Amino acid sequence: MNATKLESRARVRLRRIGATLFSATMGVAIAASAFAADTVTLRVGDQKGGNRSLLEISGYAKDLPYRIEWSEFPAAAPILEALNAGALDVGYTGDLSFLTVYAAGAPIKAIGGTRSDARTQAILVRRDSPIKSVVDLKGKRLAGTRGGWGQFLIDATLEKAGYKIDDATFAPLGPVDAKIALVAGSIDAWAVWEPYVSYATLKDNARVIADGEGLTPTVTFIVASDSAIATKRAAVQDLVQRLNKARLWSLDHLPEYAKNTAELTKLPEDVLLNAYKATHKSDRDRRKHRQGSSGSIRSRDALRDSCEDARCQQGGRSRLYGSGEFELNVSVALITRHCEERSDEAIHRSVMPRHGLLRSARNDGERSLA
């Protein structure tokens, strides 16, 4: 009898303990679920794995207080389309592509920027091409991205050579299609940027006949949607700060950066290292100039240099940003002139119904900071 009572009491206690443990487990699970639901996810568009690789190899991807969902794109145009459609929060695009879409009223802002050596933009021809210099471009079929660096470099190069824009035929092709077309001989020349330049010269035996030196500022913007700035502000700001620090780290670690990107993207390591050396040449030169006795350079100085070297003193400064914390003053005078005077009729019809839109972009940006 006593033994039976003892067993019964033991079973009751075990059930109570089990119920308590189950409740505790459920409480932890519910809390974890609630935490996961509250975790911010940044949808970030990348090109050739550059920013993802940079954050990971530099160590700045550790201990993120938010999740990053990376998407890979071949060029700026699809990134900007995704930002405009609300499919991305943050992207990395060239100056011309950003301003073209911004001018059309896209709900996006530039929240940071870097400047590369202008020679990282180039016009390429096949090794056996009869084209020897820019004077031979008249009457030829030239490919590049519409409304972006490719078309801008073609237009500026033709004008510098004393030609009119319509003295050559422009073929609006993205990097993947243009690469195939150049190798196949269906185009005569291709205007593009790194790492495509390094791949074409090292692997496809292409020749450079012109580059962007003296013609383009070669500024790349970190771009965010207005929605992301409003709803994921802290995460977006933190990402920009981490990218800035990671870029400074990369100046002394280009081989490691190239190796990591090669593993991520399956692009040849020698191509990426060559591209990174070319891209960061001006950054390294500026740092040597600024280091002095302190042996360090501030991220803010690097960003300021990216602006100053892009001829910010021409035509004053303008703000295209969503908040004071993201402030990076960038002159759009040179690029605005291209969009308003050099763009062909098709661009004006499709994305620039009024030439004054680019000017209004500056005013809109200033009001957003007020």
Domains of the chain, by residue range, sit at 1-36, 41-113+222-369, 119-211
Across 337-355, average pLDDT? 35
Residues 138, 168: contact at Cβ < 8 Å? Answer: yes
Count the helices and strands in the chain (H runs, E runs): 16, 10
- Of 338 and 3, the structure prediction assigns the larger pLDDT to 3
- Of 213 and 333, the structure prediction assigns the larger pLDDT to 213
Confidence band of 8 (pLDDT split at 50, 70, 90)? low
Q: What is the pLDDT of residues 267-326, one digit of tens each?
A: 999 999 999 999 876 655 555 544 443 333 333 443 344 333 333 322 223 333 333 333
Confidence band of 190 (pLDDT split at 50, 70, 90)? very high
CA angle 368, 90, 213 (to 5 degrees): 90
The one-letter amino acid at 182: L
What lies within 8 Å, CB to CB, of 8 at 6+ separation is none
Sheet holding 141-144, edge to edge: 169-172, 141-144, 189-193, 121-125, 207-211
CA–CA gap between residue 212 and residue 199 (Å, rounded): 18
Q: Do domains 41-113+222-369 and 119-211 have the same CATH topology?
A: yes
CA–CA gap between residue 44 and residue 88 (Å, rounded): 6
Residue of 44, 48, 90 whose CA lies nearest to 276? 48
* pLDDT at res. 141: 98
* pLDDT at res. 197: 97
Burial degree of 73 (CB within 10 A; 0-12, 13-18, 19+): buried
119-211 placed in CATH 3.40.190.10: yes
* pLDDT at res. 18: 55
Whole-angstrom distance between the N-terminal and C-terminal Cα of the chain?
84
Please give the C-alpha separations between residue 112 and each of 63, 94, 232, 330, 354, in angstroms, as whole numbers. 22, 12, 16, 10, 27
* pLDDT at res. 9: 62
* pLDDT at res. 217: 82
C-alpha 115: how far from chain center: 11
Across 82-104, average pLDDT? 91
Per DSSP, what are the bridge partners of residue 91? 223
Residues 265, 51: contact at Cβ < 8 Å? Answer: no
Residues 130, 138: contact at Cβ < 8 Å? Answer: no
Estimate the crossing angle of helix 95-103 against helix 357-369, to 10 degrees: 90
The CATH number of the domain covering residues in 41-113+222-369: 3.40.190.10
Q: What is the pLDDT of residues 100-135, one digit of tens each?
A: 888 888 999 998 888 889 999 999 999 999 999 999
